[in-house]
């Protein structure tokens, strides 16, 4: 055996994956090797067996460990059965390939090989890759579940940051919270607007999304309407950014539920958006 053979077989010998002949030949060759070469072989085998950088940094579960060990034990049992069959003496009824050379090849029994079907290194690599595949699959499933959970938590955290934790909880769980939905009057406007009111809040909330700024950065006007659609009073001026905005407004939820947003109160023709119950 050369040095490379000794290094490869050292790893397989440590895993107990050599058959009797291979183990005897390996131990004899390693014992006959000079001490310096023997130390180098053992050092290289330890280095090759360290797969820490290749495997995921994840502690396998007890179920995964049992699954991998069961696969290894099954492979070892299969090899043991093959060795016993190969070493068993002929029995009555078994077809001898030498006596069936002149028979039809379709009906003749093929001769089974006596030696290992694959090289020991390939055998070890196959088991190692199978274990790594199972481990990576488990890790992938765990990571996917973790990302899904983190994504939900980030969405909720972003909602709290944008709208305020106090208001989010009240809008979801408080029966006194009322949503005032707005609908565009100008067909060119694609903004989303909604107001939330609650008698227990010190101020009411107006949420605006995608309302484009006006020319010269003129502010919009939020107003209260009467039953006939006339402007009762101006609530506040809105300086839009075109993005999501969370604004504080002062209205009476009991009497001022009809709201509208105009480009200008002085030249009020049609509002940009109007609360749905104001029509």
Q: What is the pLDDT of residues 42-63, one digit of tens each?
A: 888 777 666 555 555 666 677 7
Edge-to-edge strands of the sheet including 273-275?
A: 231-238, 220-225, 259-262, 273-275, 178-184, 192-197, 204-209, 245-249
Beta bridge partners of 222: 236, 261
Whether pLDDT at 84 is above 60: yes
Whether pLDDT at 87 is above 60: yes
Residue 242's region, left for phi above 0, alpha for psi from -120 to 50, else beta, is: left
Compute and round to an integer the Cα radius of gyration of the chain. Answer: 40
pLDDT at 254: 81
Distance CA 42, CA 59 (A): 27
pLDDT at 52: 55
What is the pLDDT confidence band of residue 145, given thresholds at 50, 70 and 90? low
How many residues in total does the chain contain?
Answer: 279
pLDDT, mean of residues 190-197: 88
0.75 surpassed by pTM: no
pLDDT at 279: 38
Question: Do residues 220 and 236 make contact, with C-beta atoms less than 8 angstroms apart?
Answer: no
Query: Which CATH number does 176-278 carry?
Result: 2.60.40
Kind and range of the H or E element at 21? Answer: helix 20-32
**What mean pLDDT, rounded, does the chain reach?**
76
Kind and range of the H or E element at 158? Answer: helix 120-163
Whether pLDDT at 278 is above 50: no
């Amino acid at each position: 055996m050369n040095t490379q053979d000794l290094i490869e077989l050292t790893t397989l010998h440590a895993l107990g994956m050599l058959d009797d002949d291979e183990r005897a030949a390996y131990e004899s060759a390693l014992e006959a090797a000079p001490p310096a070469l023997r130390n180098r072989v053992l050092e290289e085998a330890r280095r090759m067996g360290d797969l820490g950088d290749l495997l995921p940094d994840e502690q396998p579960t007890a179920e995964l460990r049992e699954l991998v060990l069961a696969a290894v034990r099954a492979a070892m049992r299969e090899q043991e059965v093959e060795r016993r069959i190969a070493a068993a003496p002929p029995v009555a009824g078994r077809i001898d390939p030498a006596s069936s050379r002149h028979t039809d090849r379709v009906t003749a029994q093929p001769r089974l090989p006596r030696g290992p079907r694959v090289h020991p290194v390939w055998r070890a690599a196959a088991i190692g890759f199978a274990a790594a595949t199972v481990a990576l699959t488990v890790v992938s499933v765990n990571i996917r579940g973790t990302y899904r959970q983190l994504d939900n938590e980030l969405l909720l955290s972003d909602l709290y940051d944008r709208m305020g934790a106090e208001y989010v909880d009240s809008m979801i769980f408080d029966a006194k919270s009322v949503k005032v939905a707005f609908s565009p009057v100008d067909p060119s406007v694609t903004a989303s607007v909604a107001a939330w009111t609650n008698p227990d809040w010190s101020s009411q909330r107006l949420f605006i999304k995608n309302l484009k700024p006006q020319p010269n950065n003129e502010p919009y006007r939020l107003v209260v309407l009467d039953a006939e659609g006339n402007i009762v009073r101006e609530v506040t001026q809105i300086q839009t950014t075109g993005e999501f905005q969370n604004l504080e407004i002062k209205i009476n939820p009991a009497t001022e539920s009809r709201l509208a947003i105009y480009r200008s109160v002085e030249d009020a023709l049609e509002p940009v958006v109007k609360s749905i119950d104001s029509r």
